[in-house]
Amino acid sequence: MPVARGPQISAKNAIIVGIAGVVTALLLGAGVIWLATSGGNVTVQIGDTDFDAGSSQRMSEEIADNGPLLFSDVGGGRRDIILQHLGDDASSGWFAFEARPTDQPRGCFYQWDPATQTFDLTGADSSIVCSDITVDATGEGAGQFPVTIDDGGSVRVDINFTTEDGQ
């Protein structure tokens, strides 16, 4: 049995399809370039802008019983913070500050001394050498982070806050 011939494409049709494809590709490329250059500044923000430390009442009781809380930045390791509460009112008296100076090794962090009511910079073990730095109960002298209490009573720390000098 003879085999039937398939559809025939003329040279004229092939040229028209080829030119249409090239024009379409050029138009799409021009559109992409226009979109890429016509926009304003793009800000990429991944993750939360603040840290929810939990209930202000519960956190203030925890700090009163066991001392200030250390929160480790498990993501980048650059924003370890200490959360401190002073006073009897759970809706005020909150302080958050860097758990270690940025120029110190990761194993150095402020440790609460209840006898002196201060934080002393210490190493996680004896092999880590830290500077001799002490800050008061509010973390004065360490990089501070703004703390607010939201409408639900949660302690919120602005972990992306930077001062005017970039620290």
Q: How far apart are CA 39 and CA 22, in angstroms?
A: 27
Mean pLDDT, range 3-30, rounded to an integer: 87
Check the CA dihedral 55-87-81-156 and report its sign. Answer: positive
Instruction: State pLDDT tens for residues 35-90.
Output: 877 766 766 666 667 889 999 999 999 999 999 999 987 666 677 899 999 999 99
Q: How far apart are CA 96 and CA 59, in angstroms?
A: 13
Q: Would you say residue 118 has pLDDT above 80?
A: yes
Instruction: State pLDDT tens for residues 44-53.
Output: 666 667 889 9
Predicted TM-score (pTM) of the model is 0.67
Q: Judge contact between 156 and 148, C-beta under 8 A.
A: yes
Q: How far apart are CA 39 and CA 162, in angstroms?
A: 27
